[in-house]
Chain A
């Protein structure tokens, strides 16, 4: 199946620092999404991107859909302790159909030291 390469695997940062993580794919995706997962919970959608080059913000979070349609990044500015969690990229390859199946990256574990 399709693989998404997400990096870094983990990050340890100080409160207030900015964070950047990214995902790449060997094939074209027409949708990129970023999710956050807290321990014992399901993934929660942070940002969805639908067009190549699109740059979208959600509070302190900003994500971009790469112009090649094979990559995306997520930035978190001025991190706070509650940003701790696992961040997953996810993508959808096909242009429609009735399944909307997502492929997930392996996640970035973010730890924020107060």
Chain B
């Protein structure tokens, strides 16, 4: 079954450092997302990406965050200057263009900012 692949599975970074989280969505999908989940909390929407641009972003997704789809297969989330409160599980997801909302999530990247 097709999968959304995320790397790395776990990243530890110093506060203030830049991190890039990588995702390879399912190949024929057209909608891409990043969600995050702080330990023990609910899954929260960060950003949606369609047709090579951001279609919606949450208030969490401030100037420190950016997304890119550099080469038609990867979808990246960059955090420019990490803060302690950025520590969370970050999930990438993708969706086909046909109807329905049941998109596929990756296994996540656990980001720990120290």
A positions within 8 Å CB-CB of B: 1, 31, 33, 40-45, 48, 50, 88, 90, 92, 97-107
User: Are A107 and B100 interface neighbours, CB within 8 A?
Assistant: no
Instruction: Take A31-B101, A33-B102, A43-B105 as given contacts and tell me if A101 and B41 are in contact as well, using a CB distance cutoff of 8 Å.
Output: no
B positions within 8 Å CB-CB of A: 4, 31, 33, 41-45, 48, 50-51, 55-56, 58-59, 91, 93, 95, 100-108
Chain B residue contacts of A106, Cβ below 8 A: 41-42
CB closest chain-A residue, reference B45: A101
Chain A residue contacts of B107, Cβ below 8 A: 40-42
Question: Can you add 7 more A-B contacts, CB < 8 Å, to A45-B104, A98-B31, A100-B31?
Answer: A33-B101, A42-B106, A98-B51, A98-B55, A100-B101, A101-B45, A104-B43
Greatest chain B CB density within 10 A among A41, A90, A98 is at A98
Cβ contacts A to B, 12 pairs, < 8 Å = A40-B108, A42-B105, A42-B107, A45-B102, A48-B100, A50-B100, A90-B43, A98-B31, A98-B50, A100-B101, A101-B33, A106-B41
CB closest chain-B residue, reference A46: B102
Greatest chain A CB density within 10 A among B33, B42, B59, B106 is at B42
B58, B59, B101: the one within 8 Å of A48 (CB): B101
User: Are B56 and A88 interface neighbours, CB within 8 A?
Assistant: no
Chain A residue contacts of B50, Cβ below 8 A: 98-99
User: Are A100 and B41 interface neighbours, CB within 8 A?
Assistant: no
User: Are A101 and B56 interface neighbours, CB within 8 A?
Assistant: yes
